[in-house]
Protein backbone atom coordinates (compact mmCIF):
# COMPACT_ATOMS: atom_id res chain seq x y z
CA UNK A 1 0.00 0.00 0.00
CA UNK A 2 1.30 3.39 -0.99
CA UNK A 3 1.62 6.22 1.54
CA UNK A 4 2.87 9.80 1.58
CA UNK A 5 5.41 11.56 3.74
CA UNK A 6 6.55 15.16 4.12
CA UNK A 7 10.25 15.65 3.48
CA UNK A 8 12.20 18.83 4.15
CA UNK A 9 15.72 19.68 3.12
CA UNK A 10 16.54 22.12 5.92
CA UNK A 11 18.51 25.36 5.46
CA UNK A 12 21.86 23.63 6.18
CA UNK A 13 21.20 21.10 3.41
CA UNK A 14 20.15 23.77 0.92
CA UNK A 15 23.09 26.01 1.89
CA UNK A 16 25.56 23.15 1.42
CA UNK A 17 24.21 22.22 -2.01
CA UNK A 18 22.81 18.86 -0.93
CA UNK A 19 19.33 19.17 -2.45
CA UNK A 20 20.29 17.10 -5.49
CA UNK A 21 21.84 14.42 -3.29
CA UNK A 22 18.69 14.12 -1.17
CA UNK A 23 16.40 13.98 -4.20
CA UNK A 24 18.67 11.52 -5.94
CA UNK A 25 18.58 9.11 -2.98
CA UNK A 26 14.78 9.40 -2.76
CA UNK A 27 14.46 8.55 -6.45
CA UNK A 28 17.06 5.79 -6.40
CA UNK A 29 15.16 4.12 -3.57
CA UNK A 30 12.10 4.01 -5.86
CA UNK A 31 10.07 6.64 -4.04
CA UNK A 32 8.26 9.29 -6.08
CA UNK A 33 8.17 13.04 -5.70
CA UNK A 34 4.61 14.29 -5.97
CA UNK A 35 5.35 17.90 -4.91
CA UNK A 36 8.58 19.88 -4.63
CA UNK A 37 9.11 23.50 -3.65
CA UNK A 38 12.00 25.78 -2.65
CA UNK A 39 10.77 28.40 -0.20
CA UNK A 40 11.33 30.39 2.97
CA UNK A 41 9.24 29.38 5.95
CA UNK A 42 7.39 31.87 8.09
CA UNK A 43 7.55 31.65 11.85
CA UNK A 44 3.96 30.51 12.23
CA UNK A 45 4.42 27.47 9.97
CA UNK A 46 7.75 26.62 11.65
CA UNK A 47 6.22 26.78 15.14
CA UNK A 48 3.27 24.67 14.06
CA UNK A 49 5.52 22.17 12.33
CA UNK A 50 7.59 21.72 15.49
CA UNK A 51 4.66 22.12 17.94
CA UNK A 52 5.45 18.81 19.67
CA UNK A 53 8.85 20.27 20.69
CA UNK A 54 7.40 23.55 22.02
CA UNK A 55 8.49 22.79 25.59
CA UNK A 56 12.00 21.62 24.67
CA UNK A 57 14.98 23.86 25.45
CA UNK A 58 16.06 23.87 21.79
CA UNK A 59 12.65 24.95 20.42
CA UNK A 60 13.57 28.63 20.00
CA UNK A 61 16.81 27.98 18.16
CA UNK A 62 15.21 25.27 16.05
CA UNK A 63 12.48 27.65 14.83
CA UNK A 64 15.07 30.38 14.35
CA UNK A 65 17.24 28.06 12.28
CA UNK A 66 14.48 26.72 10.04
CA UNK A 67 13.26 30.24 9.26
CA UNK A 68 16.68 31.73 8.47
CA UNK A 69 17.26 30.24 5.04
CA UNK A 70 15.60 28.48 2.17
CA UNK A 71 14.16 25.01 2.63
CA UNK A 72 12.96 22.48 0.10
CA UNK A 73 9.59 20.97 0.96
CA UNK A 74 8.49 17.80 -0.78
CA UNK A 75 5.74 15.25 -0.70
CA UNK A 76 7.20 11.81 -1.28
CA UNK A 77 5.09 8.79 -2.11
CA UNK A 78 5.58 5.05 -2.25
CA UNK A 79 5.12 1.79 -0.35
CA UNK A 80 5.99 2.45 3.33
CA UNK A 81 7.30 5.88 2.29
CA UNK A 82 7.45 7.15 5.90
CA UNK A 83 9.80 4.42 7.12
CA UNK A 84 11.64 4.25 3.82
CA UNK A 85 12.59 7.93 3.96
CA UNK A 86 13.49 7.73 7.66
CA UNK A 87 15.89 4.94 6.76
CA UNK A 88 17.43 7.10 4.02
CA UNK A 89 17.73 10.02 6.49
CA UNK A 90 19.24 8.03 9.39
CA UNK A 91 18.70 8.73 13.10
CA UNK A 92 18.19 12.27 14.43
CA UNK A 93 21.71 12.57 15.85
CA UNK A 94 24.00 12.39 12.80
CA UNK A 95 26.95 11.07 14.82
CA UNK A 96 25.48 8.86 17.56
CA UNK A 97 22.43 7.48 15.74
CA UNK A 98 22.65 7.85 11.96
CA UNK A 99 24.45 4.98 10.26
CA UNK A 100 27.09 5.62 7.62
CA UNK A 101 25.37 5.41 4.24
CA UNK A 102 22.39 7.43 5.45
CA UNK A 103 22.07 11.12 4.57
CA UNK A 104 22.71 12.30 8.13
CA UNK A 105 25.36 9.63 8.71
CA UNK A 106 27.23 10.70 5.59
CA UNK A 107 26.82 14.48 5.80
CA UNK A 108 25.87 15.57 9.32
CA UNK A 109 27.71 16.39 12.53
CA UNK A 110 25.22 18.23 14.76
CA UNK A 111 21.72 17.33 15.93
CA UNK A 112 20.21 20.69 15.00
CA UNK A 113 21.89 20.77 11.61
CA UNK A 114 20.77 17.33 10.55
CA UNK A 115 19.95 18.24 6.95
CA UNK A 116 16.55 16.70 6.45
CA UNK A 117 13.22 16.09 8.09
CA UNK A 118 10.81 13.25 7.41
CA UNK A 119 7.39 12.69 9.01
CA UNK A 120 7.54 10.08 11.77
CA UNK A 121 4.03 8.55 11.54
CA UNK A 122 0.97 8.51 9.26
CA UNK A 123 -0.70 11.06 11.59
CA UNK A 124 2.30 13.43 11.44
CA UNK A 125 2.53 12.97 7.68
CA UNK A 126 -1.08 13.97 7.21
CA UNK A 127 -0.74 16.98 9.52
CA UNK A 128 2.57 18.13 8.00
CA UNK A 129 1.44 17.72 4.37
CA UNK A 130 -1.63 19.86 5.11
CA UNK A 131 0.57 22.45 6.81
CA UNK A 132 3.21 22.69 4.07
CA UNK A 133 0.93 22.13 1.07
CA UNK A 134 -2.44 23.54 2.15
CA UNK A 135 -3.54 23.85 -1.47
CA UNK A 136 -3.70 20.01 -1.58
62 binds ligand CMP (CB under 6 A): yes
Nearer to ligand CMP, 113 or 133 (CB): 113
Handedness of CA 33, 35, 40, 45 (dihedral sign): negative
Q: Are 118 and 6 in contact (CB under 8 A)?
A: yes
Q: How far is the CB of 58 from ligand CMP (least distance, A)?
A: 4
Q: Are 81 and 31 in contact (CB under 8 A)?
A: yes
60 phi, psi to nearest 5 deg:
-60, -45
Applying CB under 6 A, the span of 26-34, 75-83, 107-115, 125-133 interacting with ligand CMP comes to 107-115
110 phi, psi to nearest 5 deg:
-125, 145
Choosing from 23, 36, 111, 131, the residue that interacts with ligand CMP (CB under 6 A) is 111
Question: Interface with ligand CMP by CB under 6 A: which residues?
Answer: 53, 58, 62, 92, 111-112, 114, 117
Catalytic residues: 117
Amino acid sequence: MSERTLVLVKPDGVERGLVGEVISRIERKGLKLVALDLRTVDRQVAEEHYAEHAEKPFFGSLVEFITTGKVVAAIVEGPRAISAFRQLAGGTDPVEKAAPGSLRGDYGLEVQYNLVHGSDSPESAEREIKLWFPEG
